[in-house]
A = this chain, B = another copy of it.
Amino acid sequence: MKILDMVKFTEDGLIPAIAQDAATGEILMMAWMNRESLHMTVESKRATYWSRSRNKLWIKGEESGNIQEVSNISTDCDADVILLKIRQVGAAACHTGHRSCFYRDVTENGDALIENSSPLFDPKQVYKK
């Protein structure tokens, strides 16, 4: 798959990937991909990232069921960022239960963060350990 050699990964072998709701344009999250997760995303059309905290491949929604169906993949002028247009299955993309991970706005003076939306599910119910 030639795209794997056409985009630029960091020294750690990663590339940032932005997930945007294909229907509304809302930005749902930004995560990271390695070669394998980009390969899997292109092939399966399901967003697959590399979890830096868990150090493993991360098929988004594998635990919560909130998978992301990918309708388009693009890259930027430097080919060092990936943009996914996706359909978010389930209510929310964020593990906090918010629709988008970007649920906190910086206040005008830059001194605080305020929530701009409410969670749509209870993480304790979704992520049963």
Interface residue ranges, A against B (CB under 8 Å): 1-4, 6, 16, 18, 20, 24-27, 29-30, 39, 42-43, 72-79, 81, 83, 94-96, 98, 101-106, 109-113, 116
Oligomer copy total: 2
Alpha-carbon distance between A81 and B74 when the two chains are bound, in angstroms: 19
Contact of A27 among B18, B39, B101 (CB under 8 A): B18
Neighbouring B residues of A96 by C-beta, 8 Å:
77
Q: Are A110 and B3 in contact (CB-based, < 8 A)?
A: yes
Neighbouring B residues of A27 by C-beta, 8 Å:
18, 20, 27, 83
Task: List 6 contacting pairs A-B, 8 Å CB cutoff, sorted by A.
Answer: A1-B110, A2-B112, A6-B113, A42-B109, A77-B98, A78-B101
